[in-house]
């Protein structure tokens, strides 16, 4: 234990003698004449028989006053214990609330332990120190910023809840924390997490970073993938179970079909986060919901269950306007759940609504009036309402604009050669995905409430259809143009919004959450905009049921499964150190035992207050005795 301001102890050296001197002065008693001291003498003789106690009693007030002085002076000297913790005056706490913090190896959960740690750090703040709370992992939240109100800070900490979605990316919180830290002197960033986070290597944090690891256990088995593929007369269930721990585990996997047990598999799993054990089973076609549940317990319960919903019968109808394109027809036929209709060539009136046929592929020349719904133009010849064709490009070299565009997922364009492509000038709506020397080759965007994609070259003028990239690109384009359909679309990550194209005649959309709560477009829980129903609150895991209603009657029912398929969250082994580059040059963020200061002056002040009350009671003991006597008398009579 050390003292912050030891000079305050001098106060005791000055005030202590004054108190003693006052006491000695007080001992010179007031003189009071009495008729005779005869009786008093007699009594005092009795009293002095137990003199030591009497003397003590007489000086009890002095002792209490000296004790009070001692406590107050000690409190002023501000003693502290060195603890593991923080020392800065501007504290920024990054509290991980991602799914892995739901592990219960630190009862009741890692998140609660992290909150307790955060409160402890808040308590260690020096007077006038301020703190910011950043809830990281999942969606970033900043419940309080730069406040010294400890009550508000505690409330903000206790209000933080687990967020299943969004992973554990710390780049955004660290950037924000760096900005906050740069503003103030003597800043410190505390990361409270289990350490399974992504940290950007390019930032340099201009403050000291301390990492407080939470969690002990590392064993966790998870259902890492589930899929229900529609077939002709049955469905194929695919479940993958992965052991993210460090030692081999044996678990039983139970498969439930529409709530009834279907099969159980005993699995022995080697610790290997990249290779799970897979199960494939044929499922009757009428099954709507499949649940895979790992029996037994591990630290993280959220990933022990996974759901898949049947998409059988939810076929996506695609209208193909073409002069005949074998590649395209074959490619579309390969996509599961896609049904192709071809209107009579030359037709330019389309009676079906966008709900019935949501996607139209226009290969080559476009009809005079564009059909409703989303559009994919392939090798356009003439300008349309949405773009102009100004010429041709010979031998364009394809280059993707952004490395991780979802449209180009798994698609490699480096091998693709194109003979010629249309030089198109899209409107401002378009986002160019692939270009060639500034000329857009693939552009996507939204306009007039519909999604539009333009591929500038005719498939016959390239070797794209002969490559693996073609079906993948087609599939990605279909996912973009027809969101909320197909087997893939029925699987959502937590927090990922649920979007569905709905017909204009639909008056209400209702979503039943896994816990049974119902949200409706009537009360604003589900948003309806531009013919789309969007429901964003998909953090809880499980099956969401979306119903389309027209005048109170259910027109269609869709099911969505929200699963925690995140290797980073399922790997729960806590990290002992985080590498965060700091401007000081340090990389490590482990805290040393002597960094924090736990001040105890508040307790000393409290003790002083208690002593003060006791001293007052002792001083007023006559009155108290009188009151007690009165009370006894009243009780007696």
Partner 1 sequence: MITEPLLESSFLRKLDRLSILTKRAMAGDIQGERRSPRRGSSVEFADFRPYASGDDIRQIDWNLYARAERFYLKLFVAEEELNVHLLVDTSASMDWGEPNKLHYAKRLAGAYGYIALSNLDRVSVSAFGAGPHPQSMASVRGKRGAFPLFGFLQRLTPGKGGDLAKTCRTYAQTARTPGPLLLCSDLLDPGWKDALGALSSRRFEVTVMHILAPQEIAPELDGDFKLVDVEGGEPVEISADIGLIQRYREGLDAWREEIESFCNGRGMNYLAVDTSVPVDEFVLSQMRKRGVLR
CA nearest 307: which of 290, 328, 331? 290
User: Which one, 27 or 466, has the nearer CB to partner 1?
Assistant: 27
Rule CB under 8 A: which of 44-63 touch partner 1?
A: 44, 46-47, 58
- String of contacts with partner 1 for each residue 212-231, x by CB under 8 A: --------------------
Q: 448-480 burial, b if ≥16 CB within 10 A, otherwise e? A: eebbbbbbbbbbeebebbebebbbbbbbbbbbb
> What is residue 174's DSSP assignment?
H
Q: Does the footprint of partner 1 cover residue 622 (CB under 8 A)?
A: yes
Q: Which of 30, 404, 515, 553 binds partner 1 (CB under 8 A)?
A: 30
Smallest distance from the beta carbon of 596 to partner 1, in angstroms? 49
CB of 18 to partner 1, least distance (A): 19
Could you say whether residue 10 binds partner 1 (CB under 8 A)?
Answer: no
Asked if 29 touches partner 1 (CB under 8 A), the answer is yes
| Nearest distance in Å: CB 19, partner 1 | 17
266 binds partner 1 (CB under 8 A): no
Q: Among 162-170, 227-235, 439-447, 624-632, which window interacts with partner 1 (CB under 8 A)? A: 624-632
Instruction: Single out the residue of 7, 13, 34, 636 in contact with partner 1 (rule: CB under 8 A).
Output: 34
The neighbour count for residue 581, using CB atoms within 10 Å, is 17
Looking at 27-35, 138-146, 373-381, 516-524, which segment touches partner 1 (CB under 8 A)? 27-35
Which position among 7, 41, 297, 344 is part of the footprint of partner 1 (CB under 8 A)?
A: 41
- Binder of partner 1 out of 7, 42, 394, 552 (CB under 8 A): 42
Exposed, middle or buried: residue 260 (CB in 10 Å: 0-12, 13-18, 19+)? exposed
Instruction: Of 336, 362, 364, give the one whose Cα is nearest residue 350.
Output: 362
- Contact region with partner 1 (CB under 8 A), list: 39-47, 214-222, 257-265, 294-302: 39-47
Least separation in angstroms between residue 185's CB and partner 1 is 57
Q: How far is the CB of 620 from partner 1 (least distance, A)?
A: 10
Nearer to partner 1, 54 or 201 (CB): 54
The residue range among 23-31, 151-159, 259-267, 599-607 that interacts with partner 1, by the rule CB under 8 A, is 23-31
**Residue 506 and residue 558: Cα distance in Å, rounded?**
14
Q: Is 625 in the site for partner 1 (CB under 8 A)?
A: yes
Tell me if 553 sits within 8 A of 177, measured CB to CB.
no
Whether residue 108 has a cis bond before it, omega within 30° of 0? yes
Are 302 and 224 in contact by the 8 Å Cβ rule? The answer is: no
- Full DSSP string of 61-116: HHHHHHHHHHHHHHHHH-EEEEESS---SEEEEEEE-SGGGG--SSSS-HHHHHHH
Residue 553 touching partner 1 (CB under 8 A): no
Question: Taking the complex as a whole, how short is the minimal distance between the CB of residue 147 and partner 1, in angstroms?
Answer: 52
DSSP code per residue over 349-371:
---S-TTTS-EEEEESSPPSSPP
Smallest gap, in angstroms, from Cβ of residue 623 to partner 1?
8
Q: Which is nearer to partner 1, 38 or 259 (CB)?
A: 38
**How far is CA 528 from each of CA 33, 507, 518, rounded to the nearest angstrom?**
98, 10, 16
Residue 610 touches partner 1, criterion: CB under 8 A = no
Binding segment toward partner 1, per CB under 8 A, in 6-14, 42-50, 137-145, 551-559: 42-50
Rounded to an integer, what distance in angstroms lies between the CA atom of residue 164 and that of residue 494?
6
Contact flag: residue 151 with partner 1 (CB under 8 A): no
Q: Distance (Å, rounded) from C-alpha 119 to C-alpha 154?
A: 6
Alpha helices in 490-620 (DSSP H): 567-570, 601-619
CA-based end-to-end distance of the chain: 57
Q: Is 616 in the site for partner 1 (CB under 8 A)?
A: no
| Closer CB to partner 1, 57 or 275, in the complex | 57
592/630 with CB nearer partner 1: 630
Q: Which residues, 407 to 466, sit near partner 1 by CB under 8 A?
A: none
Stretch near partner 1 under the rule CB under 8 A, chosen from 127-135, 395-403, 454-462, 617-625: 617-625
Cβ atoms 498, 537 nearer than 8 A: no
Q: Using CA atoms, how far apart are residues 500 and 534, in angstroms rounded to an integer? A: 7
Using CB under 8 A, pick the residue from 2, 5, 37, 347 that binds partner 1.
37
Are residues 307 and 288 in contact, defined by beta-carbon separation less than 8 angstroms? no
For residues 158 and 61, the answer to whether their CB atoms sit within 8 Å is no
CB of 26 to partner 1, least distance (A): 7
The answer to the question of residue 39 lying near partner 1 (CB under 8 A) is yes
Measured at the CA of 204, the angle between CA 203 and CA 207, to 5 degrees, comes to: 135
Q: Contact at 8 Å (CB) between 620 and 628?
A: no
Q: How far is the CB of 28 from partner 1 (least distance, A)?
A: 8
> Residue 26 interacts with partner 1 (CB under 8 A)?
yes
Closest to partner 1 by CB, 61 or 279: 61
Please state the closest distance from residue 16 (CB atom) to partner 1, in A.
22
Taking the least distance from each CB to partner 1, the nearer of 334 and 617 is 617
Query: How is residue 164 written in tokens?
Result: 């299943």
Nearest to 312 by CA among 498, 487, 145: 487
Looking at residue 395, the DSSP 8-state letter turns out to be S
Minimum distance between the CB of residue 10 and partner 1, rounded to whole angstroms? Answer: 31
Residue whose CB is less far from partner 1, 587 or 629: 629
Helix H, strand E, coil C: the string for 39-71 is HHHHHHHHHHHHHHHHHHHHCHHHHHHHHHHHH
CB of 117 to partner 1, least distance (A): 53
Of the candidate spans 29-37, 103-111, 126-134, 224-232, the one that interacts with partner 1 by CB under 8 A turns out to be 29-37
Q: Does residue 33 interact with partner 1 by CB under 8 A?
A: yes
Does 31 contact partner 1 by CB under 8 A?
yes
Among the listed residues 1, 13, 14, 38, the single contact to partner 1 using CB under 8 A:
38
Residues that bind partner 1 (CB under 8 A): 26-27, 29-44, 46-47, 58, 621-622, 625-626, 629
């Amino acid at each position: 234990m050390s003292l912050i301001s030891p000079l305050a102890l001098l106060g005791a050296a000055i005030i202590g003698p004054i108190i003693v001197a006052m006491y000695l002065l007080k001992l010179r008693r007031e003189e009071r004449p009495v008729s005779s001291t005869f009786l008093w003498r007699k009594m005092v003789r009795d009293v002095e028989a137990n003199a030591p106690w009497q003397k003590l009693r007489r000086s009890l007030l002095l002792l209490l006053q000296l004790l009070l002085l001692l406590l107050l002076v000690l409190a002023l000297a501000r003693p502290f214990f060195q603890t593991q913790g923080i020392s800065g005056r501007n504290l920024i706490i990054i509290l991980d609330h991602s799914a892995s913090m739901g592990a219960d190896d630190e009862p009741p959960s890692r998140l609660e332990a992290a909150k307790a740690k955060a409160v402890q750090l808040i308590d260690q703040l020096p007077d006038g120190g301020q703190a910011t709370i950043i809830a990281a992992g999942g969606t970033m939240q900043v419940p309080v910023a730069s406040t010294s109100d400890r009550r508000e800070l505690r409330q903000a900490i206790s209000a933080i809840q687990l967020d299943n979605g969004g992973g554990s990316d710390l780049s955004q919180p660290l950037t924000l924390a760096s900005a906050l830290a740069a503003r103030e002197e003597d800043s410190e960033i505390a990361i409270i997490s289990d350490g399974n986070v992504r940290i950007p290597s390019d930032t340099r944090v201009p403050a000291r970073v301390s990492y407080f690891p939470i969690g002990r256990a590392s064993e966790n088995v998870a259902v890492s993938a589930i899929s229900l593929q529609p077939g002709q007369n049955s469905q194929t269930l695919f479940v993958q179970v992965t052991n993210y721990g460090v030692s081999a585990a044996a678990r039983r996997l139970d498969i439930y079909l529409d709530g009834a047990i279907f099969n159980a598999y005993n699995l022995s799993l080697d610790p290997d986060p990249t290779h799970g054990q897979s199960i494939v089973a044929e499922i009757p076609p009428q099954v709507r919901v499949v649940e895979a549940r790992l029996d037994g317990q591990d630290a993280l319960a959220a990933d022990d269950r996974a759901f898949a919903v049947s998409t059988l019968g939810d076929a996506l109808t695609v209208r193909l306007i073409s002069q005949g394109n074998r590649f395209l027809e074959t490619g579309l036929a390969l996509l599961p759940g896609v049904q192709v209709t071809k209107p009579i060539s030359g037709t330019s009136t389309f009676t079906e609504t966008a709900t019935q046929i949501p996607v139209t592929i226009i290969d080559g020349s476009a009809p005079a009036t564009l059909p409703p719904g989303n559009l994919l133009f392939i090798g356009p010849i003439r300008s349309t309402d949405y773009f102009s064709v100004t010429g041709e490009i010979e031998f364009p070299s394809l280059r993707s604009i952004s490395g991780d565009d979802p449209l180009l997922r798994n698609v490699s364009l480096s091998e693709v050669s194109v003979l010629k492509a249309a030089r198109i000038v899209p409107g401002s709506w378009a986002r160019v995905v692939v270009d060639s020397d500034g000329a857009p080759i693939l552009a996507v965007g939204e306009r007039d409430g519909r999604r539009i994609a333009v591929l500038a070259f005719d498939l016959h003028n390239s070797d794209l259809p002969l490559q693996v990239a073609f079906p993948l690109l087609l599939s990605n384009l279909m996912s973009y143009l027809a969101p909320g359909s197909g087997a893939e679309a029925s699987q959502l990550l937590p927090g990922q919004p649920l979007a569905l194209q709905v017909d204009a005649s639909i008056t209400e959309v209702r979503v039943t959450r896994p816990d049974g709560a119902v949200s409706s477009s009537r009360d604003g829980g589900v948003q309806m905009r531009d013919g789309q129903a969007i429901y964003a609150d998909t953090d809880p895991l499980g099956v969401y049921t979306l119903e389309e209603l027209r005048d109170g009657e259910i027109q269609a029912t869709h099911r969505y499964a929200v699963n925690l398929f995140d290797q980073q969250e399922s790997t729960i082994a806590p990290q002992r150190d985080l590498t965060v580059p700091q401007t000081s040059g340090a990389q490590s963020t482990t805290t040393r035992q002597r960094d924090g200061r736990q001040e105890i002056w508040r307790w000393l002040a409290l003790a002083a207050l208690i002593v003060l009350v006791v001293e007052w009671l002792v001083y007023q003991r006559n009155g108290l005795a009188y009151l007690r006597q009165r009370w006894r008398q009243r009780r007696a009579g």
